[in-house]
Amino acid sequence: MHDSSDIGWADRPRNQRLVRIVLYVACLGLLMAEFVIHRHAGNRIEALPLVYAIYGFAALILAVTAAKGLRMLLKRDEDFYD
């Protein structure tokens, strides 16, 4: 069996929870900064609050969806190289 000293720092549930909390706080802080920091927008869409957060999230969803589609195209059998 594995001893508790064998696991790395990232595998410990307490550290995972701490990292998750730090990331949530950082994301919340950045979202709140959107309403405080003034940006010099080039057009009206850029002036909307949270437009870059929404754009980034939509790009992430598009990338994951495209990757799933590419996986079906490029997938090989387990014994392809044998």
Is 75 a residue whose pLDDT tops 80? Answer: yes
Stronger pLDDT, 57 or 79, i.e. the higher one? 57
pLDDT of residue 3: 60
pLDDT at 13 over 90: yes
Mean pLDDT of 59-72: 95
pLDDT exceeds 90 at position 12: yes
Mean pLDDT in residue range 25-53 = 90
Instruction: Answer whether 34's CB lies under 8 Å from 40's CB.
Output: no
Distance in Å from the first CA to the final CA of the chain: 34
**pLDDT at residue number 66:** 97
